[in-house]
Amino acid sequence: MDLFEYQGKQLFARYGIPVSAGVVADTVDEAITGASSVGLPVVVKAQVLVGGRGKAGGVKLASTLDEVRTHAGNILGLYIKGHVVRRLWVEHASDIAAEYYASFTLDRAAKQYLGMLSAQGGVEIEQVTESIARLHIDPVAGLSEAACREWVAEAGLPAEAVPLLMKLYEVFVDGDADLVEINPLILLPSGAVHALDAKVTLDDNARFRHPEWDEFTGLEKLDPREREASAKGLQYVGLDGDVGVIANGAGLAMATCDIVHEVGGRPANFLDIGGGASAQVMANALEVINNDPSVKSIFINIFGGITKGEEVANGIVQALGQVDITSPIVIRLDGTNAVEGREILRSHESDRLVSKPTMVEAARKAVELAR
């Protein structure tokens, strides 16, 4: 779950990370009132879940209330990389002596946390990869203040950054985040360090531990398909194709999308139903796919593991009896007791329900039926 800048700053502030005073504004009048309350000059910032706001005209400095009015009016409704600006963050402007970059994220290959620091902040970090000081952190041992000091010195940041970075690490770990990033992390003329921006991605799998995350529900309008899938507990991402995809496991779902592309088709979605394939879960998945008017065929790709093939097949058959499907379905079933499962499916086959033994054959048939 990605947070807007203002939400990230609210989260940072709870952990004692210094951020600029600011207010949220959904209208021009609210922006003017907010600018008056935090004090001029202010920076008027578009709140969208993409980068490049400044280049797109979504970040403007205002020294007067008339300038606030002009900038707020121009930014609200602005399109930035396909996202419409519906909310602003009006923040008291800061004097900047130096700009840095700081982040914590996951290094899945190393099975460790990864901290990154650079004395060159305020630009796209990809442009300054040579100047990044990297620090791998054992999740069990954690980040010590001594290690943090060495890291800060290596990156060429002032020692004043150490306490802030220790707090940022706490946000990352205790906050169940996949990424926390400050770009720029600034040095004020007073010598204090300060988070001028905030980029935070929370691990949605940890939501059950954080009821407070409900307040972070953003303004971005969810794809109706994604909203329905989320309500049913399904992992779903809407795409722009016409072959509906259902698979059990994220890796298999991605591979299914890839094979559909490989044989000349376009997946309409990524949908992972998890490790099992019970009748109710399958029915929920089929309902989501069936409600997408762009879907012309459905490709169900299931690998039976702990859940045996005949159980999967019976679940699919029961689900088909619960949902009035409008598109033809192609099923590929493999894994534990796949032969028994295919036998069950074969007795229900028709011109609207086809079973194929391999992913390639099934993908080709699904693409054919979608045309």
Q: Could you tell me where the DSSP H helices lie in the chain?
A: 5-14, 28-38, 65-75, 145-155, 161-174, 224-231, 250-262, 279-290, 309-322, 338-346, 359-370
| Span 54-59, average pLDDT | 93
- Which of 5, 181, 287, 310 is labelled catalytic? 181
CATH superfamily of 98-215: ATP-grasp fold, B domain (3.30.470.20)
pLDDT of residue 249: 86
d(CA 69, CA 72): 5
* Mean of pLDDT values over 289-306: 90
> Is the per-residue pLDDT at 191 higher than 80?
yes
Q: Catalytic annotation on 6?
A: no
- 21-92 and 98-215 agree in CATH topology: no
Residue 230 has pLDDT above 60, yes or no: yes
pLDDT value, residue 126: 66
Is the domain spanning 224-370 CATH 3.40.440.10? The answer is no
127-136, 217-226, 251-260, 291-300: the lowest-pLDDT one: 217-226
The one catalytic residue in 101, 113, 169, 236 is 101
Give 295-326 as a DSSP string.
--EEEEEEEESSS-HHHHHHHHHHHHHHS---
The mean pLDDT of the chain is 91
> CATH code for 21-92?
3.30.1490.20
CA atoms of 91 and 115, how far apart (whole Å): 27
pLDDT in tens, 147-175: 999 999 999 999 999 999 999 999 999 99
Domain segments of the chain: what residues? 21-92, 98-215, 224-370
Does the annotation mark 113 as catalytic? no
Res. 82: pLDDT tops 80: no
